[in-house]
Amino acid sequence: MVKLNKIRSLSEAVASVRDGSHLFLSGFAISRNAIAVAHELIRQNKRELTLSQCIGAMDADLLVGAGAVKRYIYGGGSLDRFGPLWNINRAIEQGAIEVDEFSGLSMALRFLGGSLGLPCIPIQSLLGSDILKNLLNKEVPEVKVTECPFTGEKMVLLKTLQPDVAFVHVQKADCTGNAIIQGPRWDEDAAKAADQIVIVADEIIPTELTPFLVEEVRIPAGRVSMVVHQPYGAHPTSLYGVYDYDREHLTEYASMARTPDGMQEYLDRYVRGVKDFSAYLEAVGGLEKMIRIKADALKKY
């Protein structure tokens, strides 16, 4: 039986993104980031993007640093102990991007509601905070303080989120789009909230194998538009069970991103100045580095 082959090249998949789109990228701090996608979005000079994430990550920081982002909707974030999200914090401080700042769970519920096609969803955190005060002061309200009509409890009603395209880096996928995510999956609902899902898989598995791994399939083929095969596509962030984060390169990034000039130099050296993601992988240490960060079979990092 012929199976629909959704495999596309990274550049084809990214070329389908229109300027001004609302994108979701799968990163969480320094884990399972859609780094290859962020690089290609920058190389293809995509502009005026809206990005949304539960927790900010390096993939978003790269895009903000490259000036590709108009609006960022998120719940806070960092590069863990490697440092803050320098570009995002700087853009917020300078008013260079529009920012809607929420909490982790309020973003997660907005995505969950979006994944279910619900127009709104309630939450009972945010109340009393300056996060809420800031959001209520905005002209385009996406939050409303109200009461549950059944219990009378106070609650915050949130408009749900449905990105145009979600780029989700995963450990394995088959060519029809069934995607396996191992470890925590902070991005599962956000992916399903999106109108189009592009799976970026470190490994492509044969469709015959999928039923045997069914308990680990987190995004079903029927929701997936394209599949990109991109080994090490999350580098320098970690891919649980496949490779560890690259401590050396993250340290270099955090140090260069500290200043606008340093960030431009980083982009020139590793993103705009290289032909493609393979050339980036060579530039950061190639095969030798990839062997060094290979995950231990038991520890998974």
User: Using CB under 8 A as the criterion, which residues of the chain lie in contact with a second copy when the complex forms?
Assistant: 109, 116-124, 141-142, 144, 146, 148-151, 153, 155, 157, 159, 182, 215-216
- CB of 38: closest distance to a second copy in angstroms? 27
- CB of 268: closest distance to a second copy in angstroms? 41
The answer to whether the CB of 227 falls within 8 A of the CB of 201 is: yes
Spatial separation of the C-alpha atoms in residues 1 and 92, rounded to whole Å? 52
In which element (H, E) is residue 73 found? strand 69-74
Question: Which residue among 7, 13, 73, 108 contacts another protein (CB under 8 A)?
Answer: 108
Does the protein bind another protein through residue 222 (CB under 8 A)?
A: yes
Does the protein bind another protein through residue 89 (CB under 8 A)?
A: yes
Does the protein bind another protein through residue 28 (CB under 8 A)?
A: yes
Q: Name the segment binding another protein (CB under 8 A); options: 13-21, 64-72, 221-229, 276-284.
A: 221-229
| Residue number, 10 or 54, with CB nearest to another protein | 54
Site string for another protein, 140-179 (x = CB under 8 A): -------------xxx------------------x-x-x-
Q: How many CB atoms lie within 10 A of CB 27?
A: 31
SS (H, E, C) 152-203: CCEEEEEECCCCCEEEEEEEEEECCCCEECCCCCCCHHHHHHCCEEEEEEEE
Question: Which residue among 14, 109, 201, 227 contacts another protein (CB under 8 A)?
Answer: 109
Task: Classify the C-alpha dihedral 189-192-197-202 as positive or negative.
Answer: positive
Does the protein bind another protein through residue 54 (CB under 8 A)?
A: yes
Spatial separation of the C-alpha atoms in residues 294 and 300, rounded to whole Å? 9
| Residue number, 119 or 279, with CB nearest to another protein | 119
Q: Residue 157: which of a second copy, another protein, none does it interact with, CB under 5 to 8 A by kind?
A: a second copy
| Residue number, 144 or 300, with CB nearest to another protein | 300
Question: Which residue among 20, 184, 260, 286 contacts another protein (CB under 8 A)?
Answer: 184
Q: Name the segment binding another protein (CB under 8 A); options: 9-17, 37-45, 109-117, 282-290.
A: 109-117
* Angle between helix 86-93 and 58-65 (nearest 10): 50
Question: Which residue among 59, 100, 244, 246 contacts another protein (CB under 8 A)?
Answer: 244
- CB of 117: closest distance to a second copy in angstroms? 7
Give φ, ψ of 120 to 5 degrees: -150, 165
For residue 247, CA distances in Å to 17, 221, 244 come to 31, 34, 9
The answer to whether the CB of 224 falls within 8 A of the CB of 200 is: no
Spatial separation of the C-alpha atoms in residues 32 and 281, rounded to whole Å? 16
The single-letter code of the amino acid at 248 is E
Question: Which residue among 64, 97, 131, 198 contacts another protein (CB under 8 A)?
Answer: 131
